[in-house]
Each structure stands twice: as structure tokens, then as C-alpha cells.
Structure 1
Amino acid sequence: MKTYNIFISHAWKYSEHYHKVVQWLNEAQDEGQFKWKNYSVPEHDPLIDPNTTYGKKKLKEELEGQIKPTSIVIILSGMYAAYSEWIDFEIDTAVSCEKYIIGVKPWGQERIPKKVSDNADVMVGWNKNPIVNAVLESNKGE
């Protein structure tokens, strides 16, 4: 059974979306579809203030360290408007490291941020099966 190393974009304010994707990937693992390792860390160190120059630099270093060892990056595009600077950084890092990018459309939303759609290898709907299928079809497991 293949194991997939996955980073899921996340924002602390939208952690329920992150946790839902984790739940779906865990269910797929429990069903024997694949194994996966989560390289995301949705809760940040409260001592790092991303609104300061040092804090922003430190957070970017941490995000880069989370993305580099993965094979797949899942971008939750529904958070884009509020967190475009960070999601842009995650996308740019994933592209520069040649990661397979799965873009996830927000539930009930037709418009997708151009940055996400232009860089995603595949765009899928907000549902378990499309996300799980995109992971399996990526052929990025080990």
C-alpha cells in the first residue's frame, strides 16, 4: 500500500476545514485505500507573531520545512481571500519544489482564485471522494 506525504494548507481561523480534510484522509486510510503522513501543523506557536518582520520570516521558514518533504500539497481555496499572502507562499513553495498540487474548491462556490487554478495539477470539489481520488491519481505515493 502506498504512503502519501501530504501538506494541507491551513489557516487557524479556518481550522474546521483543515480538520475535515484530515478526517476524510484518515477515513480513506482506515478503509485501506492508502496510508498518509500529515506534514501540516495547523496550530502555530503563539510566540510567533506573523505580523512582525521576524515572525513572518520564521513562519515562512516553518512552512517551507513542512512542504519540502511532501509529495502532495492540498490547497483549500476557500481561505484564499483572507490569507492570500500565506497561500501564495505555500503555492510558490510547492511549485518551486515541484510538488503535486490539489486545489479544493470551496463548498458551493464556483469562483476559484486564479493563483490556485493556475498552479493546481487538479481542481476537485469539497467532498471526500474527489479529494481521496485526486491523491490516488497523483501517483505520488511511495
Structure 2
Amino acid sequence: MPYLKTYDLFISHAWDYNDEYYRLVAMLDGAPNFKWRNYSVPEHDPLAGGRRLAQQLDGQIRPVNAVLILAGMYVNHRGWIQKEIELAQSYNKPLIGIRPWGNYNVPQVVAMTAETIVGWKTDSIVGAVRAHAI
């Protein structure tokens, strides 16, 4: 199957959840017949803090086809993830929640705002992107 579309994605994350972020990037990079561009903030090139961070996040979320939320980090980083959710909603970007490995529950705000919640499997995540990305 040929590549049909290149998906522009923003992955909501925090650097103290680095391992999950990089694992997800590796999963997406390794998915067969799936091409994507990462609009997330790389650890080696962090954004500024405060109001400037909100403006920079806006610039990263505005052009994407979907926002992926690593639901396990919401509790510890509620403020910024909530801002990312609000930005995505303001641009009518679909939110795809990704349950932490081995968990069944996700924070209520993620469950209520996401188009879908998927498990930690490449096929599930890629399928959700293909089904819901704009």
C-alpha cells in the first residue's frame, strides 16, 4: 500500500515523560505505509516559558492534522495539557487520546474531549490518526 497522505501531528508531552514520547515517535516512524511530520517540541530545542510558550504552542498546533495526547501525563501536567487541548479545540483539530501501557482508565477531560481513546499499539494509534485526522 503506498503512502496516501503525510500526517502533520502534535504529540502532547512533557520532558519528564520523555521515554513515552520517544517510544511513540519510534512507533509512528516504524509504522508501515505511514508517513508523518512531528510538530512537537524536541527536547534539545525547548520552547520559552510562560505566555511565550502558549504562543509557540499555538503555532505548532494550528497547522496539524491531529493532536495526540499521552493520557498518562495529564495528572502531573494538567495546566499545559489543558492549554494544548483548548488550542486544538479552537482550531477544530481532532484529539486522539493514548492510554498508558497497561491502563484502562484515562483522565475524564481527555475522555470527554478526544475523538477516540486508543491503547498503546502502533496499529491502533495509526488507525485512529487515519480515521480522525483532518
User: How high is the TM-score relative to the length of structure 1?
Assistant: 0.86
Gaps of 5+ in 1: 49-54
Matched, 1:4 2:7: yes
Aligned match of 2:130 = 136
Contact 2:99 2:118 in 1 (8 A): yes
Amino acid at match of 2:87: T
Q: 1:58 to 1:34 in 2, by over 3 A?
A: same
How many residues in Structure 1 have an aligned counterpart in Structure 2?
131
Identical-residue share of aligned pairs (%): 47
Q: Which has the larger radius of gyration?
A: 1
Aligned residue for 1:81, secondary structure, equals: coil
Q: 1:40 to 1:115 in 2, by over 3 A?
A: same
Deviates more, 1:69-78 or 1:35-44: 35-44
TM-align CA RMSD: 1.6
Q: How does 1:1-142 map to 2 (within 5 A)?
A: 1-28=4-31, 31=32, 33-43=33-43, 48=48, 55-138=49-132, 140=134
Q: Deviations over 1:68-122 (max 9, x none)?
A: 0001100000001110001100111101110011100111222211110110001
Gaps of 5+ in 2: none
Aligned residue for 2:51, secondary structure, equals: helix
Runs of 4+ in 1 over 3 A off after TM superposition: 44-48
Aligned residue for 1:74, secondary structure, equals: strand
